[in-house]
Amino acid sequence: MSKQEFTITVYTENQIGLLNRIAIIFSRRKINIESLNTSPSEVESVHRFTIVINETEDVVRKLCRQIEKQVEVLKAYYNTNEELVWQELALYKVPTDVIAEKVKVERLLRQYGAKAVVIRKDYTVFETAGHREEIDTLIKALEPYGLIEFVRSARVAIIKASKGFHEKLKEFDQAEPAEEVIENEFLDKQDEVFTM
Amino acid sequence: MSNSTILDAAETKKQVAEAPKTISGSQAVLEAFLAEGVDTIFGYPGGAIMPIYDALYDYTDRLEHILVRHEQGGIHAGQGYARASGRVGVVFATSGPGATNLVTGLADAMIDSTPLVCVTGQVFAHLLGTDAFQETDVINITTPVTKWNYQVTDATEIPSVLAKAFYIAKTGRPGPVLIDITKNAQLQMFEYSGYTPCNHIRSYKPKPTVRKEYIVEAAKLINEAKKPFVIFGQGVILGRAEKEFKAFIEKTGLPAAWTIMGMSAIPTDHPLGVGMLGMHGNYAPNVLTNECDVLIAVGMRFDDRVTGRLDKYAKQAQVIHFDIDPAEIDKNVKSAVPVWGDCKETLPLLTDLLEKRDHSEWLAKFRELEKKEVEEVINEELNPSTEILTMGEVLKVLNELTDGNAIIATDVGQHQMVACRYAKYNNTMSNVTSGGLGTMGFGLPAAIGAKYGAPDKTVVAIIGDGGFQMTIQELGTIMQFGAAVKILILNNQFLGMVRQWQQLFHDKRYSFVNITSPDYVQVAKGYGIEGKKIDQRADLKNAVKTMLDHDGAYLLEVMVGKENNVFPMVPQGCGVSEIRLK
């Protein structure tokens, strides 16, 4: 199985120290986290981690189970890029005089859908949102014109097939695992859903 | 009594129970312990946990505190207590070095799924992060080695946090929990309105939902199997599913082998028991792992010491894996049928679906290979032809005298493998050993804890001359509190297991395995513990009998062969069926 980019989406309680607990699951196996974002989720009080790594599916599946095992983690999903809509945000600081003088730069920014966030006499800050490759191409394009500062955010991603976490959460609110044996909805859905 | 009186009485009772009273955070910790049925605490005081120890002063009639000699001893004792009793072990340590001394025990308890609640003191909340005296970032240090940990800075949180701690430690796949409480929270007075045990945490599902379809599938595989083989681990003991497990293997006569952690879940002389798996396990179960057609793993995690080389492990077999922890499924060995769940619930469902089959021919194959092992290894180990004593014969004598009814706590190394290979067990929870982490120094303190966990049982600590010197200070704990632990030192004047490897795989280049010992009998005497040292076969039986019959703790040192090896052995990097008899 070859390595590819996977995005892991983790729904959690909001708890100090949980970031570390999740991060060490990767560092323990010497896996580099390409990008990590924490944010609120569609459900109030539930947090959402978005983690991007480059690994084989086998390893990613095991990682997700280890993550889900943590007491404060509700659920961990993993997806390939095809299964996601995602964006990263980037900020570029460039000298204002260059932009003012060089028509090419203006065209470039327009082409990439960059917006000016701040315009000052000495510098201008542009932002773009998009996939990493798009952002990276713009850096390359801007470099010859004196890119002063650059920063890119972690990936945020929406799972195309997800129906949101509201319904899922109800399962966790049940008092205890059912005493009686029930037919399990997760059967044969291993690749999509993990459960504890 | 009229209805109204009953109501009144109920009302009054309710009010009494809920009447808020003002207590300190420290008292709240101890109240939680009482509510959780804790009877014994292993601990060591220090600056940052002093308020809790001050409160403890008024609880000594209800809580027994054992003052250990080192926090590592304390946590291993807590583990021994938990393993022998099936209850949660409770440990106290102070901040900084006290807390860091717990780390080895936490890692051991984590990997061996031992339920513990450790409470550490911490500096005042306003000093956190200032490099204050005895401040260390305990939460972050212990995160990888705890099932859950939490820092309390406000006393009002204590009842609910401790309720969660006990619930998490003992449910699902058990494990160690550490609660770090800042000194201000210990001192803080707050309105206490009683203790409510925890039985639900939204994000924590201790038991996976049982998937009946997979049980049906598992039953089908087993019913069709010609050579089914059951391997089981500590999950059977932790799930208290010994009875269900026995019923399962007995229904259709399935041969069953145990991992080191699963040992004693069924009596070692059970007619379907075929011995121990793994690197120094028995010959038959290792060889036949690679011959069975259906491998049924129950509550075990395919540790590398059990599987040897993974790509040569049971490749011919369909694997059915019972485990409560979904993260274990397909972690090391891919299963054809995963059965997630508590084996106390899943096994009976499976047993119901099993059809009676005759596997006596298959079982006979195990016995045949067992005979080979007896002839080539066991006979010489138990009845040596030379004058030099072997570890195995010491175990043989111990078995005769305890009849398999003792709890045996071991340390780590050759003596541990020999003890696990030859010890006889009739009762569950009798084998207290450091399986996953292999912690030298575990044996003595764990035996002390086991004695408190099972006071009516004889507890024998079998320890090598290396490991004993790692936690020898706990003799002081025995001296002060009188735990009647029988200490059996098997002294081969070497760090034997490392020496064995150096002999077999490093051309006999004995690099720092030659370890000297003090006069253990004198050391014991210094601690007021009776002892004896022997090196003659003629003295063995009497000496072991004296040790067992002695009223109280006793130390027996047996000098055994210096360069004896433990066999069989699956060499590292080899498949299980490449197990060597010599």
Residue identified by tokens 């009953």 is B6
Would an 8 Å CB–CB cutoff place B509 in contact with chain A? no
Selected from 3.30.300.10, 3.40.50.970, 3.30.70.600, 3.40.190.10, the CATH number assigned to the domain covering B20-192 reads: 3.40.50.970
pLDDT at residue A110, as a whole number: 84
Fold of B212-365: Rossmann fold (3.40.50)
> Residue A65 class from Cβ within 10 Å (0-12 exposed, 13-18 middle, 19+ buried)?
buried
- Percentage, residues of chain B above pLDDT 70: 97
pLDDT at residue A144, as a whole number: 87
- Preferred mutation among A19, A28, A71 to probe B, highest tally of B CBs within 10 A: A71
Class of domain B389-563: alpha beta
Which chain A residues have a beta carbon less than 8 Å from that of B206?
177
pLDDT at residue B464, as a whole number: 98
More confident residue, A141 or B198: B198
Which structure tokens are listed for B336? 């054809």
Residue-wise pLDDT for B407-438, tens only, equals 999 999 999 999 999 999 999 999 999 999 99
Interface size A-B, in CB pairs within 8 Å, comes to 84
Integer angstrom CA distances of residue B265 from B91, B99, B203, B368, B455: 26, 33, 31, 24, 20
Q: Which of B27, B36, B42, B71 is catalytic?
A: B71
Q: Which of B13, B14, B133, B375 is catalytic?
A: B133
pLDDT at residue B177, as a whole number: 98
What part of B 383-422 touches A (C-beta under 8 Å)?
Answer: none
The answer to whether A38 touches A75, Cβ cutoff 8 Å, is: no
Distance CA(A191)–CA(B12), nearest Å, equals 55
Would an 8 Å CB–CB cutoff place A45 in contact with chain B? no
- Percentage, residues of chain B above pLDDT 90: 95
Residue identified by tokens 């406000």 is B154
Strands B337-340 and B407-410: unpaired
Distance CA(A140)–CA(A131), nearest Å, equals 15
The answer to whether A17 touches A85, Cβ cutoff 8 Å, is: no
Give the HSE-up count for residue B197: Cα atoms under 13 Å, Cβ half-sphere.
12
Q: What architecture does CATH give domain A4-84+157-173? A: 2-Layer Sandwich (3.30)
Integer angstrom CA distances of residue B241 from A155, B83, B246, B253: 46, 15, 9, 18
**pLDDT mean over B544-555:** 98
Residue B460 has pLDDT above 70, yes or no: yes
Residue-wise pLDDT for B207-247, tens only, equals 888 889 999 999 999 999 999 999 999 999 999 999 999 99
Q: Do B149 and A196 touch (CB under 8 A)?
A: no
More confident residue, B76 or A15: B76
Neighbours of B292 (CB within 10 A): 24
Domain boundaries, chain A: 4-84+157-173, 86-152
Q: Residue A104 — very low, low, confident or very high, per pLDDT cuts 50/70/90? A: confident
- Report which of B323, B247, B251, B333 is spatially closest to residue B290, judged by C-alpha positions: B333
Q: Do A178 and B209 touch (CB under 8 A)?
A: yes
Cβ contacts of residue B56 below 8 Å, gap of 6+?
Answer: B26, B30, B41, B63, B65
Which long-range contacts link B351-358 to residues 24+ away (Cβ below 8 Å)? B351/B244, B351/B247, B351/B248, B351/B251, B353/B215, B353/B216, B353/B219, B353/B223, B354/B219, B354/B222, B354/B223, B354/B248, B354/B251, B354/B252, B355/B223, B355/B252, B356/B251, B356/B252, B357/B223, B357/B252, B357/B253, B358/B253
What part of A 1-20 touches B (C-beta under 8 Å)?
Answer: 12-13, 16-17, 20
What mean pLDDT is reported for chain B?
95
Q: Do A66 and B327 touch (CB under 8 A)?
A: yes
Reported ipTM: the value is 0.90
- Report which of A92, A102, A94 is spatially closest to residue A120, judged by C-alpha positions: A94
Q: Residue B10 — very low, low, confident or very high, per pLDDT cuts 50/70/90? A: very low
B14 assigned to active site: no
- Report which of A69, A141, A146, A99 is spatially closest to residue B327, judged by C-alpha positions: A69
- Report which of B304, B331, B421, B405 is spatially closest to residue B370, judged by C-alpha positions: B421
A173 closest CB neighbour out of B140, B202, B211: B202
The answer to whether B458 touches B548, Cβ cutoff 8 Å, is: yes
Residue-wise pLDDT for A147-162, tens only, equals 999 999 999 999 999 9
Neighbours of A136 (CB within 10 A): 13
Strands B407-410 and B431-432: parallel
More confident residue, B215 or A103: B215
Fold of A86-152: Alpha-Beta Plaits (3.30.70)
pLDDT at residue B29, as a whole number: 98
Residue identified by tokens 């009845």 is B383
Q: Where in chain B is the domain with CATH 3.40.50.1220?
A: 212-365
Residue B312 to chain A, least CA–CA distance (Å): 19
pLDDT at residue A175, as a whole number: 52
A194 closest CB neighbour out of B151, B209, B326: B326
Cβ contacts of residue A4 below 8 Å, gap of 6+?
Answer: A54, A55, A56, A57, A80
Residue A188 has pLDDT above 60, yes or no: no
Q: Where in chain B is the domain with CATH 3.40.50.970?
A: 20-192, 389-563
